[in-house]
Amino acid sequence: MARLATSVTKRFNLRYNLVGHLFQGVYKSKRIASAGDLVHLSIYIHANPVVAGLVKAPQDWAYSNYRRSFYELSSEDEKDFTDPTPILCQFKNRKEYVEHVQEYLRSDEVNLRPRHTLEEG
């Protein structure tokens, strides 16, 4: 990861005539020890743009596979680089996963965090 971060930083700085760090802090990883951890992480990632005030709903975030993999069915000719199967097999169907994301967004875990609004920018 360090080599990747250094490579991206050098290219970015060269392209935009900048100097210095692009990424700060040490790269950290955490082992996903169970299917429950994987599901929680997935829900957290899909809800995060809403919590950050960047979009009003997870399906509105363009940089996520949520809309194509979970919220609406993709057509057969649309190929995605992610496979939602490990997460979806934990639920009866896609709708149940979407309901869990919405439940998370209504939860105290999210609502006690400081939130930005779309109007603040």
Are 39 and 96 found together in one domain? yes
What pLDDT is attached to residue 96? 94
Average pLDDT per consecutive 10 residues, the chain (121 residues; last block may be shorter): 83 85 73 92 93 91 87 60 87 93 88 56 42
Are 59 and 15 found together in one domain? no
Are 22 and 35 found together in one domain? no
Are 62 and 19 found together in one domain? no
Q: How many domains does the chain have?
A: 2
Are 25 and 75 found together in one domain? no
What pLDDT is attached to residue 79? 61
- The DSSP element (H or E) to which 39 belongs, if any, is helix 35-51
Domain that holds residue 25: 1-29
Are 36 and 16 found together in one domain? no
What pLDDT is attached to residue 114? 57
Nearest to 99 by CA among 18, 43, 26: 43
Are 3 and 39 found together in one domain? no
What pLDDT is attached to residue 121? 42
Chain-centroid distance, C-alpha 20: 27
Nearest to 85 by CA among 47, 35, 50, 49: 35
What pLDDT is attached to residue 112? 64
